[in-house]
Chains A and B, each alone.
Chain A
Amino acid sequence: MSGPSSSEYIPHHLQHLRYDLVKGEWAHDATGLINFHLINVDTLVMSVSMGVLFLALFYAAARKATAGVPGRFQAFIEIVVEFVDARVGEVFHGDRKFLAPLALTIFCWVILMNVLDLLPLDVPGLFAHAAGAEHFRVVPTADINTTFAMSLTVLVLILAFSVKAKGVGGFGHELVTAPFGKHPALWIPNLALNMVELLAKPVSLAMRLFGNMYAGELVFMLIALMGFAAASAFGHGGVVGGAAASLGQICMAAAWAIFHILIVLLQGFIFMVLTVVYISMAQEHH
């Protein structure tokens, strides 16, 4: 870090490493709220890495899984599997062959991606700079693209489960007749309400996870600003003030990181449980 000012520090850390797919070059400034020409390379690299890590861990356990006495690693993986399976079984009464592995994927992937937030703020950046990247945001779940990609996939699954349980006609009928009634005059209000209900699910899923992780990242950045205060105090000869600021930064960063462990796990759990709840709701008849 060649010493950016504190006012540059936070916007710098909120920039993604973007590639312009159309121009075929690195994009230096984000243009537009929606721009499908650009892709966040940092988000993709980190999330795919975490996904591969998840698959590798569980595949290693699955390949060697026996009914005999499990080793520590297999026991740990099985505890996670049984935990997820039990949560799904509490909510969803039916065949869990698809829903339970879906829940496991969400739970583990989200937690692994969230855990990256606990890496020291500037350390991944050092590696990225060494590799020649201008920006590198390490937490994929603090990118709204990741959370919306997941929640929209969940929306597609909700629709698929609805159609599978009720048929196209049954689901369509339900969209226009529930919850107010069958009278033709009520079709429009019914449909409108159902659309709001349906769309609120992916939006709330995505915004909850994104908001938590983005805010968590931002708080780490704000705490890191105390380092600037410390540096400026030391620069003006204020040893006591500099030491106090440094100590404050260390203590606050530690406290926030410990509290953040809870958020990391909780957000993964919430995303999983809500997905299961939404899909089991989709199978119910009104």
Chain B
Amino acid sequence: MQINATLIGQAIAFLILIWFSWKVIWPPLTSAIDARQKKIADGLAAADRGQKDLEDAKSQALAIVREAHGKAAQVVDQAGRRANEMVEEAKGTASAEGERLIAAARGEVATETARVRGELRAEVAKLAVAGATQVLKREVDASAHAALLDELADRIVVAR
């Protein structure tokens, strides 16, 4: 055990080590550690923000879906009402058309009736003349008795 010049050498070595560690080693290591700490803190904050954004988006989506549901119900309602209206309208048109057809048919029937009645009348007159001819077994002047025969024919037709 002896105190000697090693003491001085070791002190110089120690000072060099301290200086190097102080100036060269410590600053980059601590700044890297600090930067990483900040990065991690930022990352965690961003994750929190993302979580919150997601929740917001979810509730927003829910609101949009709810609104769409309401609108769809409204549309269906409107469509139903419109359909009812159309049915009613069609019903009105159809009944008007029906009445018109009925009226037309009635007119036709009346015209036909009048025509048939005229024909019948002529036929009956002929039949009456023929009948009278046969009954009287003689010739009857058709033109002379025309008025009489017409009256007869009218009575027959009315009786029918």
Contact = CB atoms under 8 A, between A and B. Distances in A.
A145 B21 contact: no
A196 B21 CA distance: 31
Given A35-B4, A36-B4, A44 B18 contact: no
A70 B32 CA distance: 10
Contacts of A144: 1, 3
Contacts of B4: 18, 34-40, 145
B32 A65 contact: yes
B5 A150 contact: no
A150 B43 CA distance: 44
B17 interface: yes
A180 to B, nearest CB: 34
Contact of B21 (A36, A44, A104, A146): A104
Interface in B4-37: 4-11, 13-18, 20-22, 24-26, 28-33, 35-36
A58 B25 contact: yes
A43 B5 CA distance: 11
Interface in A26-79: 30, 32-40, 43-44, 47-48, 51, 54-55, 58-59, 61-63, 65-68, 70, 77-78
Contacts of A82: 33
A18 B9 CA distance: 13
B37 to A, nearest CB: 9
* Most chain B beta-carbon contacts within 10 A, residue among A63, A66, A104: A104
A101 interface: yes
Nearest to B1: A144
Contact of B17 (A38, A44, A51): A51
Given A67-B32, A67-B36, A153 B14 contact: yes
Contacts of A145: 2-4, 6-7, 10
A97 B31 CA distance: 11
Q: Interface extent on B, as a size class?
A: 20 to 34
B10 A78 contact: no
B39 interface: yes
A198 interface: no
Given A58-B29, A67-B39, A102-B21, A44 B3 contact: no
Contact of A105 (B6, B7, B11, B18): B18
Nearest to A40: B6
Interface string A133-164: 00000001001111011101100000000000
Interface string A99-115: 01110110001000000
Interface string B50-67: 000000000000000000
A16 B10 CA distance: 15
A58 B2 CA distance: 33
Nearest to A18: B4
Contact of A62 (B16, B17, B29, B36): B29
A21 interface: yes
Contacts of A68: 36
Given A39-B6, A101-B18, A148-B3, A51 B13 contact: yes
Interface string A222-258: 0000000000000000000000000000000000000
A59 B9 contact: no
A81 B159 CA distance: 136
21 contacts: A34-B3, A35-B2, A37-B4, A39-B9, A44-B9, A44-B10, A47-B10, A51-B13, A54-B17, A58-B21, A61-B29, A67-B39, A105-B21, A144-B1, A145-B4, A149-B6, A149-B11, A150-B14, A152-B7, A153-B11, A153-B18
Interface of A: 16, 18, 21, 30, 32-40, 43-44, 47-48, 51, 54-55, 58-59, 61-63, 65-68, 70, 77-78, 81-82, 85, 97-98, 100-102, 104-105, 109, 140, 143-146, 148-150, 152-153
8 closest A-B pairs by beta carbon, nearest first, are A149-B10, A67-B35, A65-B32, A145-B6, A101-B26, A149-B11, A40-B6, A39-B5
Given A55-B21, A149-B13, 13 more contacts: A35-B2, A36-B4, A44-B9, A51-B17, A58-B21, A62-B25, A62-B29, A67-B39, A70-B36, A81-B33, A102-B21, A150-B10, A153-B15
